[in-house]
């Protein structure tokens, strides 16, 4: 079982990044990367997404010590990023929770990455539609 700090070090080395290079790619300081690799610090969700993108791995892989597949649920990361850009950190957190809670419906079954992506996309479309409907109904009137 690899920890977050182990995974960051390993993925960084595999990509040939220096610690400062990874910091630049992820939008954080060298000091922050050093603290991640020492296990002193754990990133916020938005930083975790940037770090995962820079390392070309999924957020699930970095954040779950039991996850051994660097690409597991990587399709979900784009939907969370989309929610963050539309609705801020609360929207990203909501979508992440929604996707995690609904993925439990498939516990024990095997889905291909394409099937997971289709599922994530359907959930995201429903979330956006409900947010837009709420904004229309309860938002400021012009």
CATH 1.10.260.40 fits 4-63, yes or no: yes
Backbone angles phi, psi at 98, to 5 degrees: -60, -45
Asked if residue 49 lies in contact with residue 91, where contact means CB atoms within 8 angstroms, the answer is: no
Q: Which helix (H) or strand (E) holds 123?
A: helix 113-138
Q: pLDDT, tens digit, for every residue of 7-55?
A: 999 999 999 999 999 999 999 999 999 999 999 999 998 899 999 999 9
Q: Give the span between the Cα atoms of 94 and 41, in whole angstroms.
A: 24
Secondary structure of 35-102 in HEC code, one letter for each residue: HHHHCCCCCCHHHHHHHHHHHCCCHHHHHCCCCCCCCCCHHHHHHHHHHHHHHHHHHHHHHHHHHHHH
Q: pLDDT, tens digit, for every residue of 22-33?
A: 999 999 999 999
Please state the domain extents for the chain: 4-63, 74-138
Q: pLDDT, tens digit, for every residue of 67-121?
A: 999 998 888 888 888 998 999 989 988 988 888 777 667 666 777 778 878 888 8
First to last CA, the chain: 55
């Amino acid at each position: 079982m690899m920890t977050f700090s182990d995974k960051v070090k390993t993925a960084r080395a595999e990509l040939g990044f220096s610690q400062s290079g990874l910091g630049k790619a992820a939008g954080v300081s060298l000091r922050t990367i050093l603290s991640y690799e020492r296990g002193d610090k754990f990133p916020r969700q938005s930083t975790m997404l940037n770090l995962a993108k820079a390392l070309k791995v999924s957020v699930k892989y970095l954040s779950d010590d039991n996850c051994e597949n660097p690409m597991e649920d990587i399709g979900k990361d784009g939907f969370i990023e989309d929610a963050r850009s539309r609705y801020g950190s609360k929207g990203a957190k909501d979508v992440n929770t929604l996707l995690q809670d609904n993925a439990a419906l498939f516990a024990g079954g095997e889905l291909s990455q394409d099937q997971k992506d289709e599922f994530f996309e359907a959930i995201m479309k429903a979330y956006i539609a409900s947010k837009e409907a709420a904004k229309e109904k309860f938002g400021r009137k012009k």
